[in-house]
Amino acid sequence: MAASIPTFSASDIALLSRPLYAIFTAMSSGDRVPAPRPVWFALGEDATIEMFSVAGTTRLRRLAVDPRASLLVTAPVGEMEQWVAAEGVVTLHDDGAQELATRLSKRYWHPDVIEDWSDTELVRMIFTPDRIRRFGP
């Protein structure tokens, strides 16, 4: 029997559609420990999460060696506790990163910030979960 592909629930999608930060952790190697970082993200197609990174970062080097990662999104303090945590793999893509950064800058910050990145090489990261856990409504 084939393993089922995890999907986000309606409640998960509602949380993941909000302008909240995700805490993203890529695997590390050697004696280094994983270093979680806040990231901008968008819910993609087929239960994927899209993010971007500046080319050449430690995060991308780690993902090139080991694509396993985890992601956590929580409701803010003051709201009923809710979170979605996922473990999975990341694929790296040269296409679509600038468009994603433009879209996310409007959601998270200010559209003018994208001008600062117009000459920066960006990489689109697509996170595909193989395990999803949740708490809350």
Domains observed in the chain: 10-135 (2.30.110.10)
Percentages (nearest 5) of helix, strand, coil residues in the chain: 25, 35, 40
pLDDT at 113: 67
4-60 pLDDT, tens digit per residue, is 678 999 999 999 999 999 999 999 877 778 889 999 999 998 889 999 999 999 999
Question: Would you state the structure tokens that stand for residue 41, as one six-digit string?
Answer: 């993200």
pLDDT at 29: 76
In whole angstroms, give the CA distance from residue 118 to residue 100.
Answer: 12
Query: What's the pTM value of the predicted model, to 2 decimals?
Result: 0.90
pLDDT at residue 83 greater than cutoff 90: yes
Q: Phi/psi at 102 (nearest 5 deg)?
A: -65, -45
Number of Cβ within 10 Å of residue 52's Cβ equals 23
Going by pLDDT thresholds of 50, 70 and 90, the confidence category of residue 1 is: very low
**Helical H segments across 1-137, by residue range:** 10-16, 58-65, 97-108, 114-117
